[in-house]
Structure 1
């Protein structure tokens, strides 16, 4: 793959910020969108825009075809066994909350266990925290090693016959750790628990096969993988989804409504109440086409190379602390510059046209574990190059001199 040629397909990247060519290093928060996705959205709104499922006119039929084709496209992308296992949501957060509120409430009782890790994004921590408070379940944490990784031996010690749910990120949005979720799913299943995977940071960057992982639920967002904001996916094993109750009620999801009781449609529609995110699904399908034309394995190799180069370059700068393992497979690096607040670092970098993220990254328990109130984070994607990392390193050296 040629990242310079790929970059040309992203109109937003062809601009200057504060008099400098833009270097976008914030894709872990939200990726940019290629022309192919923008064109798909434009075509839908100019040609096919209508509500789905309920209309028999031509526009309604075309919109329905687009929407359901997108579901089938997603199912193939993550190798789901059935198209009905794909639920469109607003994003990873909504998907995880759906699992916690529907499945979690139906299976958890006093003394049951939910197992997570301290590295979780708030979206995969607060739903379980609140569920434990409401049901009397116990929230347990798998301990982290000094570099932020986890050991399977510690998973074995933490998961018990009382464990009903194990939930964790496939990839940490702070540490760049890739968790062994396939092996952890096997441990969870051996104890009768289900495995919930937060795939927000993994799905854009590596090939995903939910059947091979044998996870029970898998959630991800479109906006981190070149698709529009406001569209996400919950994958769930069909037998589990069929047994679950919806948590949103209204149009689209009903089968029959009486004065005092109602029944629900079959999967996946019982979880998609109201007018769905039609254009978002169309954009997500176009983004998947774009990514697979390049190749998920190629993207993964490219990011692994960038990660190694970024760690090498930033390690050469005195006063830079890098968090997480030195060997990593995903394109993000989280760091701090001694005695300089991350927000100040990000502001100075922005003056040079370099966009990074600064803050707690929705991981406050992990920040406390790192003994840092906040960190800076540079994250890379298929349109980034080693020259972008050189710009980052040079700007950090200038920032160091400026603050000194």
Structure 2
């Protein structure tokens, strides 16, 4: 059983991330990334047992197919071909059609393509990756695991927009939420940490990375989340603005901006990057803040304040709260950011255990609050493991 692996593929518009995951332990024996597709420096790198390699991907087009073709060779080179029992695909948007993992067939592929209006950047790339993988691994069962599926348990009061209902009826405009596999995974791990059945546990999961979202989880199920119709809503992020008065869009259009300029700015030039005028990387923000950079300091303040506000508001969605979970690259590693968020939550009784908080970084998990405080914890996420587990479970 321990030698049964799942190849997990995350196909982006100009990238392809992959991992070969042990379906029992969650350990990754091979990880890799194809990136900069369509550019001169298109390349592919991978790591096997600590050894990293990189090659250029030469070709004018079909970079996803080229990358997966190279992946087939890499898998064979490390004698993993026969050990892989399935391929699991991370799919960003499942609309209302997909509420759980499904095995991929022609109809599923058509249904994923049908929601491309809801995820114009991600859905076409997801489909390209699936088609390339089906051609490369024709004998393996392949599964689609949806970022939005975990949030399909939200009640109507949480996912319904306060807009003309015909917009929902005609165009399915509503809150969908993302990072579902991450929120799902860490909530299960958190329940183990407090020794309580997940079906009886409630958490506020805080996934902080270049993309960031908060999720209220009641008795193991998502009941509200900060991302919305698209991943642009909610928290301030690396380059995304998060929540914004929609009249600002009209204002900019009236100033002569094109819709492309508006959404390019809101998606790629806002967040940490926009506020600081410096970088989208939280590590760079913290370093610059230590050196007295005013823009970086303001970005830190806006980010932590908004995260704390969302956490506070999501207590309304729960009958009780077993813990706040920090996860994602920033949530797992940025001590100063966690510390500042907990300071904002002192009105609710949260007290940081400074030593425990400092220890819970760089892959380590743990409770980071004092014994006389409500619980906050750090749990490293493992979305690839969720995809592998769900694929194997569906096979069974």
Same fold (TM over 0.5): no
TM range, smaller chain: under 0.3
Structure 2-normalised TM-score? 0.25
Structure 1-normalised TM-score? 0.24
